Every structure is written in C-alpha cells, then in structure tokens.
Amino acid sequence: MEVIRDPDQCPRPPEGTALAIGFFDGVHLGHRVVIGDVRRLAAELGTRSAVVTFDRHPASVVRPESAPLLLTDLEQRLELLADTGVDYAVVIHFDEQRSTEEAEDFVRHELVECLAARAVVVGADFHFGRGRRGDVDLLRKMGAEHGFEVDGIELVASGSHRARSVSSTTIRAALAGGDLDDANRMLGRPHEVRGTVQQGDQRGRDLGYPTANVAVPDHIQLPADGIYAGWYERPDGSVHATAISLGRRPTFYEQQPYSLLEAHLLDFTGDLYGEQARVRFVSRLRGEERFDSVDDLVQQIGRDVAEARKVLVA
C-alpha cells in the first residue's frame, strides 16, 4: 500500500480509483466490509483502490472536550489498512482550516482532482465537511456531475448484538464496560495497545512476578480495569504469552489516579526497559480486586498466571 501524506503528491492514476472515506479507527469488521466493497468495485471497473483518512480524529479539533479515545494510533491504523490489500491510503491533515472546508470543495479537491474517483463507498451515516453538511445524498449529486458512483452501505452486525451495527463507538463502549469478547469480535482481532516500557516501583519483581510497565498514550482506549490473558510483542517481532494487570493497584494504593498496565511475560527473563511494546488483550480473567494481605495477592497472582497459561498455551 502506498501512503500519501503530502497533498502535492496526489497520485491521480489514469485508470481512476474506487475509494472509501473515513477515520477507520480500529479498522474493524464494519470497515473491512466497506474496504472489501471498494476492492470489488476496483476489480470490476479496472481501477486502483484507495482509502481517504485523517491524521487525527476530527472531533479532537472541532470539539476536543468530547473527543473519543482511540482504538488505534495513526501508524497502527495504516498497518491494518495495508493488511486489507488496498492500493493507496491518503492521509489528510485535519486542523481548524480543514474543519471549515465546504463538503463540495473536499469532494472536488480530494476525490476528483487527487484520486480521479470513479466509485466512492462510505457508511450509510457518513458525514463530512463544514457543519457535517456532506452526506451520501450530496456525494451522489456530485458523483453525477463528476462521473463517479456512490455506495452507502450499512456496517455489519456482530456477536450477541445482531440488531446493532459495528462501529468504533460500540467497540469503545464494550472495552470500557469490560466486555472484551464482544469488542474483539467486532474488531475481528484482539484489541491491541502500544506504548513504551518504563521503570516502575519493581513491586512485581519483589512479589516474584516481574512485569513490564507499559505507558500507553492517554488518547488510547484501554479495556476496563482487570486481569487479562494476552500477548506481548517485542520490537524484534517475538511474541510472548502474557498475564496482564490493568488497574490502580488497590492493595497498595488508596487513590492511584490512573490505570497502570503491567505485563508479566510467561517463561521470560530479560531487560525490556525502553522498548516499544505491543500488548494484545485476548481474554478477561477477572476484575481488579483489593486483597487484605500481600500473601493473598501473591497467591491470586499465581492462579491468574496459571489461568493465562491455560488460555494461551494449552
């Protein structure tokens, strides 16, 4: 996949493109339906396939006080988009000026002039442009003028919520509510967060279960506090079965103001400090608890590690 970040480097392929527009946070199953439709249309029309996305969530500019936490950062999004097999990803810098752009100007500049659009696929409830004036109807009107067709499709339903469409919002809600299984079903993969391993208080080492303290950026959506089985991927690509503690450590602290992600890699010894970690949440084992004694906590950690091993390795 070719990534275009510079507006002066628009490809404008002579055969044109079939494309999708969206933020694509999480690149979940619904997004994959949209992109699959794009690739199908590209094959039928003999064009290239493309996605148009943004470097930051538009809400972080137009209403930052209520901007959502994100399922993926930009680089992770691009990796997941590349996995779909699309030819181009155009990344648009979203700022105050862009937020005031008229929907018609966006279509002319980005879709027609930059990508020579011949087919555009979006979610049925997609909105864009100043005041969110742009929608499927406006796209169809402009498509008739500029020679591209428009397909507005409903996103797929998943799991036990068959009456509900898959969306980044529903996935965030499932994660925050502790329903990791549902979130992972809608994502089509284990939820993954990334961060730098920082030195902590080494309490885990003292308890006999050393952990990597992974500092996840504040704008990324974490699952609900609790104990999880998952995978830890190192920069060299090696992947390790992991018991994950996510929470505020109530056994030791009365009011820790933030959740700390601690990853205990099973059957691993070595220095992880300073490396970039990728942590995938596979199964929620239990909620976070406060224990009356350190001995009780250590015994429970032992049970958690055994359960994580059973989930991941058995």
Domain with residue 251: its CATH number is 2.40.30.30
Q: List the Cα angle 248/270/281 in 5-degree steps.
A: 45
Give the span between the Cα atoms of 52 and 21, in whole angstroms: 5
- Which parts of the chain fold into alpha helices (H)? 29-45, 59-62, 74-83, 96-99, 103-106, 136-146, 168-176, 180-187, 203-206, 294-312
Residues 36 and 141 in one domain: yes
* 169-194 CB burial, b ≥16 within 10 A, e <16: ebbbebbeeebbebbbbbbbebbbbb
- What average pLDDT does this structure show over 11-39? 94
Q: What is the pTM of this model?
A: 0.90
| Bridge partners of residue 30, in order along the sequence | none
pLDDT digit string (tens) for 277-295?
Answer: 999 999 999 988 777 677 8
- What average pLDDT does this structure show over 233-240? 96
pLDDT digit string (tens) for 108-164?
Answer: 999 999 999 999 999 888 888 888 889 999 999 999 999 999 998 876 655 444 435
Residues 132 and 207 in one domain: no
Residues 259 and 303 in one domain: yes
Helix, strand or coil, per DSSP, at residue 226: strand
Residues 132 and 206 in one domain: no
**Residue ranges making up the domain that contains 293:** 191-312
Residues 126 and 242 in one domain: no
pLDDT at position 204 over 60: no
Give the span between the Cα atoms of 168 and 147, in whole angstroms: 31
Closest CA to 247 of 211, 272, 282: 211
Residues in Cβ contact with 160 at an 8 Å cutoff, skipping those fewer than 6 apart:
182
% of residues, the chain, pLDDT over 70? 91
Residues 134 and 225 in one domain: no
